[in-house]
Structure 1
Amino acid sequence: KKSTTRKPIDWWGILFLTAAVGTLQFVLEKGQEEDWFSSTPILVSTIVSVVGFYLFIWRELVTEHPIVNLRVLKNKNLAVGTVLMFILGFGLYGSTFVLPIYTQTSLGWTAFQSGMLMVPSSLATAAMMPVVGTMIQKGIPQKVLACLGMFLFFVYCFWSYGKLTSFSGEGDFFVPLMVRGFGMAFLFIPITTLSLSTLKGPEIGDGASFTGMMRQLGGSFGIALITTYMTRRTQQHRADMLSHITPTDPAFVQRFNGMVHKFTSSGMTPDQAKLSAMKAMDGTVMGQAAIMSYMDVWMLIGVMFLLTIPFIILVVKSPKGKAVVHSAH
């Protein structure tokens, strides 16, 4: 008979990780709604998350059979790859989160129209995946492809930045989104392959779990931080525009009087017409402030990806020879 020894399950590690990730997810999802650390539940959850991650790391380093082998992070390529995956998740999920909000709130599109807008980009990514895999197998350095992907994503963000208006149409986003799709293809496989290229045996599975987890965490952080950033930038832009709306501003006076006349002609009293005109003006200001905040988000993500390129060039070392392509999940 063959004796099989089952490895003990690290229940403490599972408990600490569940507590840490669960409370972190709550903080990221509800932080903006609850005004962050002014809310007791958010503050308590943050403390629990920090303590949970600390205990989880301690547990995984001292136990003989950890559920997550943190020691593989000693591998330089994997450590750098997890950082790049975090940034990729931040930009990928962050931009995917913002675009439908913009199209539905500022352009009045339906959810279906907003979803269909992303289809060509996804098809471009899928079509380029085999091409990128072939390029890696032929010996093209992964960091060269990763830098190209980062640059293409920057181009997409910068291009979209200039396309955001209250009158944009589907045609304005087709080419930028195709660039985004190509950029994603040059990021997923090269970063994953680069991260796992110097690992062996069971370490490959551990490394793959790290890169996947960091991409998801990057997305969670990205959506939470972008939501907060948009809210604050909208408030700032609104305040800046309102500071220029004064009774002595000829453009404001002309437009305001025109709207009052329009509402009066529709049967409103002068007071009602003035109130309606002020509400309409405020709605216009809020709409423009929101669009400007979306522009700020695209510029933020684009600059972040652009600044990552020197980091890849200086820190990452591509393995010699042809690489084995690992799938990105």
Structure 2
Amino acid sequence: MKRTILLITVIAAAVMELIDTSIVNVALSHMSGNLGATLEDTSWVITAYAIANVIIIPITSFLSNKLGRRNYYIGSIIAFTFFSFMCGQASNIWVLIIFRFLQGMGGGALLSVSQVIVFELFPKEKQNVASALFGVGVFVGPTIGPTLGGYITEFYDWPWIFFINVPIGIVAAAICYALLKEPEVKGTAGKIDWAGIILLAIGVGSLQTVLERGETDDWFEAGYIIFLSVTAFFGLLLFIWWELTTPTPVVNLRVLKSRNLSLAAILTFVSGVGLFSSVFLTPVFAQRLLNFTPTQTGLLLLPGAILAIGGLIISARLLQRGVSPLIMITTGMLMFVVFSWQMSGYNLDVSAQSLTTTLIWRGVGLAMTTVPLSVLAVSSLAPVDFAQGAALNNMMRQLGGSFGLAMVNTYLANRNAVHRSDLVANITADNPVAVKRLADYTQFFISKGAGLADAKAKALRLIDAGITKQTSMLSFDDAYLLIGLVFLFSLPLLLMASRKKKGTKVQVVLADH
């Protein structure tokens, strides 16, 4: 019973952290108006959290060893909870951004350390089940974040996006204080690798800022984006060199010599692209173009999320029965490709039922990849390296998400320009359909009492609004197709893990590389 309570608690903590990666996305305009800030400044609320997450996640193993995993984990829950409360109390946008960054620093452990604790609560032969249970949080958290944020903002107020964490955090900290113990196998931390920590913060922080802010500020047209890109390149280069040469690295990059972990990290990056890109595109598409409410949007995503939980459990059972993880990863990625292909063919008349059915392909597809990738990542590592392997794998998912969002935002902007140019080119005096549409609209406004000149101006604005909406629709179609192609072109990487040793199963080979 105690194990079950602890299991639910650490998974809930991970879900809470992941929800906060996307819960604020739909509340930015409300924050902006309430705090008297520009929307551009308010978007740093998202960026600050993402930067803090991606800096802290890879060093969670070191901090666990240095401070004691139990102390570090409980302390992180308390920090996350406290700074969540302070975010809701902020009366200034820059104060909110600072507290949001500190919230992200506390939240880093709630992902990687939670995963390791879940693994250790199960015997080795049932760790596939552990992966499935943790995968529920990994998948469900970012998926329900925007919907939950929209609902809270619509019916309450934006500070409650943060206040909702407080009771959950207090209960989680109390339960972990009572039930969580130090692991039997402990790693060694050695002296603090300050150089590694500083280089990691500079390199990864700069990269994350570029990915989060690049599209907003027109990429390399902005001087600070150029500066941060150069800083990220040399910072990460120096970080890798230092961590491979120092005897006490803050991030043990040597674990990446495991082919399993390296392959899993790359494919987890790809799954992060798909997970975060699709969970960004779909609510925006449904609410801005189809005029769905946040609640209606949540109902679109709900069946896929429920079936995904079933997919996670089934995938764990299949792994236990000896089904190759390569087959399951391939199946899941192809299901996501089907989702992307179907979404790329929709227009503004698409029904909610069609979208719900298509989103099931997305949910189950990502679910089918989550458990095999989690198992693959740590399958050839010694128990003492589990935490480091899990941390690096989780960092790759977060980076994949940031890269995916930057990619689709830039692609949407570019395709918007292309499609608008193509559509406007058809609005000419030689096009009888365009001429008739303009005449019909003009006549409609005249019938409502407008003068001829005013009616024609309103008709042109109405046509322009239609072009803008259709342009956005075509651009969203292209963006869905793009992320599907990323998945499709990643499939050949699985051949790297397809070699067998004579007389062994693929699963055994995967564990022995």
TM (normalized to structure 2)?
0.60
Whether 2:382 is the aligned partner of 1:200: answer yes
Aligned counterpart for 2:205 among listed residues 18, 22, 27:
22
Deviation at 1:321, TM superposition (A): 5.0
Aligned counterpart for 1:262 among listed residues 444, 448, 468:
444
Q: Deviations over 1:194-249 (max 9, x none)?
A: 23222223232222111111111000000011001001101100101111111111
Residue in 1 aligned with 2:281?
A: 98
8 Å CA contact 1:137, 1:322 repeated in 2: no
Q: How does 1:48-63 map to 2 (within 5 A)?
A: 48-63=231-246
Amino acid at match of 1:272: D
CA distance, structure 2, for counterparts of residue 189 and residue 113 of structure 1: 29
8 Å CA contact 2:344, 2:477 repeated in 1: yes
CA distance, structure 1, for counterparts of residue 311 and residue 402 of structure 2: 26
Aligned counterpart for 1:287 among listed residues 456, 461, 469:
469
Residue in 1 aligned with 2:418?
A: 236
Structure number with greater CO (CA < 8 Å, separation at least 6) is 1
Whether 2:312 is the aligned partner of 1:129: answer yes
Equivalent position SS for 1:118 = helix
Residue in 1 aligned with 2:21?
A: none
8 Å CA contact 1:136, 1:322 repeated in 2: no
Whether 2:497 is the aligned partner of 1:316: answer yes
| Structure 1 residues 6 and 222: alpha-carbon distance in aligned structure 2, compared to 1, 3 A threshold | closer
8 Å CA contact 1:142, 1:318 repeated in 2: no
Residue in 2 aligned with 1:186?
A: 368
Whether 2:431 is the aligned partner of 1:249: answer yes
Deviation at 1:253, TM superposition (A): 0.5
Bigger CA drift: 262-271 or 139-148?
262-271
8 Å CA contact 1:197, 1:323 repeated in 2: no
CA distance, structure 2, for counterparts of residue 46 and residue 213 of structure 1: 19
Deviation at 1:6, TM superposition (A): 6.2
Q: How does 1:90-169 map to 2 (within 5 A)?
A: 90-162=273-345, 164-169=346-351
CA distance, structure 1, for counterparts of residue 487 and residue 410 of structure 2: 20
Deviation at 1:171, TM superposition (A): 0.7
CA distance, structure 2, for counterparts of residue 23 and residue 112 of structure 1: 36
Bigger CA drift: 55-64 or 21-30?
21-30
8 Å CA contact 2:190, 2:248 repeated in 1: yes
CA distance, structure 2, for counterparts of residue 322 and residue 251 of structure 1: 61
The runs of 5 or more residues in structure 2 that have no matched partner are 1-187, 509-513
Amino acid at match of 2:417: Q
Deviation at 1:111, TM superposition (A): 2.1
Whether 2:486 is the aligned partner of 1:296: answer no
CA distance, structure 1, for counterparts of residue 388 and residue 498 of structure 2: 21
8 Å CA contact 1:138, 1:322 repeated in 2: no
Amino acid at match of 2:354: D
Amino acid at match of 2:418: Q
Amino acid at match of 1:108: N
TM (normalized to structure 1)?
0.92
Residue in 1 aligned with 2:251?
A: 68
The runs of 5 or more residues in structure 1 that have no matched partner are 325-329
CA distance, structure 2, for counterparts of residue 103 and residue 130 of structure 1: 29
Bigger CA drift: 16-25 or 223-232?
16-25
CA distance, structure 2, for counterparts of residue 111 and residue 25 of structure 1: 28
Amino acid at match of 1:69: N
Bigger CA drift: 194-203 or 28-37?
194-203
